[in-house]
Structure 1
Amino acid sequence: MSIYQFSAVAMNGREKSLDEYSGKVVLIVNTAGRCGFTYQYSDLQKLYERYKDKGFVILGFPCNQFDNQEPDENDKIQTNCMLNYGVSFPLFQKTRVRDTGIHPLFKYLSHQKKFEGFNKFHPVSKILIPLLNDKHPEYLLDDHSIKWNFTKFLIDSEGEVIKRFESTTDPIDMEHDIEALLADVRV
């Protein structure tokens, strides 16, 4: 099985098969516009611009499951991403990434690569980890579910999940892993 068996609703309202990204290195990210990690949109866009012509694509999936940090409607989300962060990589409509109603893609992704913890030295960890322990300890009960916004899954050109990066991994810190996978891609 690979990500190519899944589809999702693009921002234009059309169902889009992830098979369209076959042969590319893909980074799948659950996003939110009012989160302490929202600044990551800028670095994600930089990575996309740097590597899109080499066979790399980022797929953004806005999600409102984590403290109501993406309450806007889909059209406003897309506009905000473009105007505030210059986002030009594909965005999909708001998606459930954990618990009841989880999108099958995110169920698959989260079971392929387990949660291995947050980077406790990341500046936002000082806020995130106590918040989860105090307000949402249920998020930490298993070793696979998505714990917060901006969890990132790196997929190789065959559609296989290679690595999971938590919110506390900044996009630029994934560059070496992306480059390693792109070495095998023919554009």
Structure 2
Amino acid sequence: MNTIYDYSALEFSGQERSLKDFSGKVVLIVNTASKCYFKRQFKSLEQLYRQYRDQGFEILAFPCNDFFNQEPRSGLNLETYCRLKEQLTFPVFKRIHVKGEYAHPLYKYLSSKELNGRVDSKPVWNFHKYIIDKSGRVVDFYCPFTNPLSSRVQAQIRRLLAE
């Protein structure tokens, strides 16, 4: 069975980054969009990241424009928005597709129980979240309306960090 460590993604610099760089950490993967109603979650995601990062927690953000063109930015414009406007300090990758025929291989893996062995949940909107254990396996998912600071999300993070 594959893990997220079998995949890589492009950083804003154009450098390919292996997700093996996050091995041994609990990871929350989220597709984002700067024009989405749920963009308020950027602040919650950053707060969650700051709260648990020193304990072995990472957030990986993947901007996408798959839902009604809610991420029109790309390249330096998108990176500037994420770093300066939203003040995100966790890794944000180049814009990708998260659904359909052109979905990034990581998202094909995350959303298919046949591939990940656990979860069958394709993103239905921006800010769909997947929680990954320290071994790189998908554990669960959270719908876009689930606040990253919810007790459900934090309890799962604490449980996985303790394993």
Query: Would you call these one fold, judging by a TM-score over 0.5?
Result: yes
TM normalised by structure 2 equals 0.92
Q: Does 1:171 align with 2:159?
A: no
Q: Which amino acid aligns with 2:131?
A: L
For 1:62, the equivalent position in structure 2 comes to 63
For residues 76-91 of structure 1, the aligned pairs below 5 Å read 76-91=77-92
Q: Could you tell me how far 1:5 is from its partner in structure 2?
A: 0.4
- Structure 1 spans left out of the alignment, 5+ residues: 115-143
Q: Cα offset for 1:82?
A: 2.0
2:33 aligned partner, one-letter code: A
Deviation at 1:10, TM superposition (A): 1.0
Tell me if 1:183 matches 2:162: yes
> Among the aligned pairs, what percent are the same residue?
44
1:159 aligns with 2:136: yes
Q: After superposition, give the CA deviation of every residue in 1:55-109 in whole Å (9 maximum; x if it has no partner).
A: 0000000000100000012211121122222200001000100002111100000
1:149 correspondence with 2:129: no
CA distance in 2, matches of 1:158, 1:111: 18
Map 1:1-187 to 2 at 5 A.
1-112=2-113, 113-114=119-120, 144-173=121-150, 174-184=153-163
Distance 1:75 1:166 in 2: 29
How many residues align structurally? 155
**Secondary structure in 2 matching 1:38:** helix
Structure 2 residue runs of 5 or longer lacking an equivalent are: 114-118
For 2:39, what is the secondary structure of its paired residue?
coil
Q: CA deviation at 1:20?
A: 0.7
Please give the secondary structure, in 2, of the residue aligned with 1:39. helix
Structure 1 segments of 4+ aligned residues over 6 angstroms from their partners: none
State which structure, 1 or 2, has the greater radius of gyration over its C-alpha atoms: 1
SS in 1 for 2:149: helix
TM-score, normalization by structure 1: 0.81
Cα distance in 2 between the residues matched to 1:67 and 1:78: 20
